[in-house]
Copies of this chain bind each other. A is one copy, B any other.
């Protein structure tokens, strides 16, 4: 078991686009091994992913086009944490923009990473309860479809072909565990 962190030999930006920045870094491990890595630079304040539960015990999912996979995908509302927001404020704003409701009660469940070998990115999972109608304008190109699904039918929901995102799947399980305690 190693607790001695590797030493950074060099780190620089090797590619950059409007949204992405690629860093190359060289590390020397405590056993002397030297390795060259690439990772996507952060620079953002992280993201939130929201599990909204209505008064009937249904989770509110959204269905929207995803440019990465080139398909319509079913998942939980999410977005970036903007400067000056904490994760609960960001969760409530995203909920208003994407689902058209706010939440009286917001609970930070846990933080997750996407692919820790390549990204510094973190997403805060937030449970949203006691919902009320409230819509904020979002930046979506077409209206987002909202899909209500009973949380006690999670097995059937997970079998839906359009629900693929690991963060949404993890968040649904974590929220159900939290609500059952």
Residues on B with C-beta less than 8 A from A39 are 67-68
Residues on B with C-beta less than 8 A from A115 are 68, 114, 165, 167
A134-173 vs B, Cβ < 8 Å mask (1 yes, 0 no): 0000000110010000000001001000001111011001
Check: A83 CB closer than 8 A to any chain B CB: no
Given the known interface contacts A24-B18, A38-B18, the answer about A118 and B174 at a Cβ–Cβ threshold of 8 Å is no
- Whether A20 and B18, one on each chain, are in contact in the complex, defined by CB atoms closer than 8 angstroms, is no
Check: A37 CB closer than 8 A to any chain B CB: yes
- Whether A170 and B166, one on each chain, are in contact in the complex, defined by CB atoms closer than 8 angstroms, is yes
Check: A179 CB closer than 8 A to any chain B CB: no
CB pairs A–B below 8 angstroms (22 shown): A2-B72, A5-B70, A5-B72, A6-B65, A15-B17, A19-B22, A20-B40, A25-B67, A31-B141, A33-B141, A39-B67, A40-B68, A68-B119, A111-B164, A112-B164, A112-B169, A114-B165, A115-B165, A122-B164, A166-B166, A169-B170, A169-B173
Those 10 A-B pairs whose CB atoms lie nearest each other, nearest first? A66-B116, A33-B141, A37-B67, A169-B170, A15-B17, A173-B173, A112-B166, A15-B15, A166-B167, A69-B116
